[in-house]
Each structure stands twice: as C-alpha cells, then as structure tokens.
Amino acid sequence: METGELREPREPGPGAETAAARCWEETKTFYENLAPKKKPKSPKPQNAVTIAVSSRALFRMDEEQRIYTEQGVEEYVRYQLEHENEPFSPGPAFPFVKALEAVNRRLRELYPDSEDIFDIVLVTNNHAQVGVRLINSINHYDLFIERFCMTGGNSPICYLKAYHTNLYLSADAEKVREAIDEGIAAATIFSPSRDVAVSQSQLRVAFDGDAVLFSDESERIVKAHGLDRFFEHEKAHENKPLAQGPLKGFLEALGRLQKKFYSKGLRLECPIRTYLVTARSAASSGARALKTLRSWGLETDEALFLAGAPKGPLLEKIRPHIFFDDQMFHVAGAQEMGTVAAHVPYGVAQKPRPPAPLKPAPAAQ
C-alpha cells in the first residue's frame, strides 16, 4: 500500500463485541467500587418507628460531663472543640442502635420501597458547635443517623412529638420524666456493671409488665392492700384488660415490624424478639397479663413469670439489648448481671417529686 492510501475498515473478529462489553463492565465495576457507598434514604418520620437517643445514652461522655458540671459550659464547649476529631466511646444505647440498624438492613432487603423501618434521631441539648464531634463519632462507627436535634442548652423534649417519637432514651432522668409527662414512651438508660456479648443479628427487647406495658393499677392494689388482696383482685378481673402503660405503643411498633417478616414466612428467622419478664406469678396473676396483650392484638415471643424472684439471672441468659422496668431495684439487679437496663419512671412505685419552689409574688406597683 502506498503512503496516504486509505484502507477499508476491517470487520470485527469473532467475539470482539463480547470482549468489549466485558471490558466495559469490568471498568464500570472498578469505578463503582472506588466511589463512596451510597447510604439509604431516610424515611419520613410519620412512616417510621422513630427512636430518639440522647448523646450521653449513645456515647460515653463521662469526662465531658464532669467538665460541664465542674467548670461550666464555656470550658465544656472548648474541650469538645479541641477533641472533635477523637470519636466518643460507645455508650449503653450503642448496641441497641446497632441492632436496630441490623433489622433495617433485613427490612430493606425484603421491602426496598417501604419506609416502615426504624429511624434513629440524636437528641441532645448540646450546643451546635459540639455537633462536629458527634458527627465524626457517628461516621467513625458507620452509624446511619441523619436526623439531629441540638438545642443549645434548652430541653429537647418539646421537639419529640414533632419527630413522631416512638421511644426516647436518655441518661438524664429529669428529661425522661418530662417526656413521660408528655405521653411519650421514655426511659433512663444505665450502663451495665460488666460487658456481656449480645446478638449481632437479632434485636432482643425485654419488658416488665405492670407500669411498663400495662398501667400501674395492680401495683396500686399491692401497695394499698397487700399481696393477698392483689391475687383476689386479679382473679376477679382476669377477663378485664389492664389499661395501657407507657411502653405499650413501642411493643406495638415492634410487633408491626415482626409481622412484616412473618408474612414472608420468616417467623423462626425473625430478627426481632420480645420478652415479657414480670414478677407476677403465672398461676395467680399471669392470665390477666396474657389476656390483656391478646385483647390488644399483641404478643411477646416469650413470657417469663418469676413470682417475685430476681430478674437479673434470667436476663443474663436472654441477653437483651435493653430491658425496661419501672423499679430501680430490678434495674440495678439487671445491671449487676451485665444487662443494659432502662428505668421507666411511671406509676405508684416512683418516689414523689419534691414540690416546685413557689414563685415570689410580683412587687406592688
């Protein structure tokens, strides 16, 4: 061929198009793996099961809290800014939140377009400047928490209903009482005295009955008239459902999500398991508790009637991510056995609050 002569294009050889397509797919996969992983979309609050968690419940902030208490807010903020690239250590609610996210992954696999999942909101009265360290900590542990509520020293309780909160967990007992007074399911969470491994694939939640799932009606009778009268009352009212307690709605939300797995034939592989752990006796007062749940269309996977025996040893076997009780005696017993326990300040068993100080009368004009 002479210089400058054009050559007819050759037809591609056998398999050339297949090789080119394979090369393109490999190249695309390579660059997709380099790109940051896309996080799932946050659900609308009104469609989700919203869990509001305080910063001191999610992370350990003992040193920071000491500085705030002893040296004031300015020194506290300065310390947080100086350490904002150091992630906080996990707090008592951390394993619970990780278990919620594990359930969400399963739900998204089965129902890709559904927003009926857990939505976690970080609720704190921290100043916004502290938010960078909280965000860095959340990203460090690869948590999916997109919603923050930082109130700069004011109580965050007034915002909980706007977030459609189904459960509020905090280390601040007074804020938990405020939430309960507002009709929001809430509990003060405590760290266990020792670390115990919990399930990474199944969310386990244990509830006391009276003054937690149910009202404190029966506890009032025990306090006023003793156990014998209580047993008589429960027998006479066995077929009358108890009124609901502060955490009935949260159990209801868990049950709704469980049914999404049941409808796919996954009852035995469900990643949510619930427990009723009550001091009631099965023979003398257990029927009313179970019939109350049935009347609500609810159930727990396991019902454990201890007839007054300590709850801690049984909880050690269950290894729940969280256990709710209205009596600090049982909360402390659970802590000793390595269980993350949460106190529900509701009902007759609670210590009376001191009266609010009287406001001085305005000066005469």
- Beta bridge partners, 54, equal 123
Residue 198 has φ and ψ, to the nearest 5°, of -120, 165
The position carrying tokens 């752990």 is 277
* Count of CB atoms situated within 10 Å of the CB of 358: 6
Strand arrangement of the beta sheet that strand 49-54 belongs to: 147-150, 118-124, 49-54, 165-170, 186-190, 341-343, 322-325, 203-207, 272-278, 302-305
Instruction: Quote the tokens at residue 263.
Output: 């409808």
Closest CA to 344 of 249, 203, 233: 249
CA distance 328 to 30: 55
> Could you please report the per-residue DSSP string of 28-92?
HHHHHHHSPPPPPPPPPGGGSEEEEEEHHHHEE-HHHHHHHHHH-HHHHHHHHHHTTTSPPEE-T
Closest CA to 146 of 168, 118, 170, 126: 118
The answer to whether residue 208 is catalytic is yes
Please name the amino acid found at residue 233: H
Sign for the CA dihedral angle at 219, 225, 229, 235 comes to negative
Q: How far is CA 124 from CA 153, 156, 208, 251, 333, in A?
A: 9, 7, 27, 25, 28
CA distance 257 to 358: 47
**Active-site annotation holder among 62, 142, 208, 326:** 208
CA distance 163 to 147: 9
CA distance 138 to 121: 12
Instruction: Show which residues are catalytic.
Output: 208
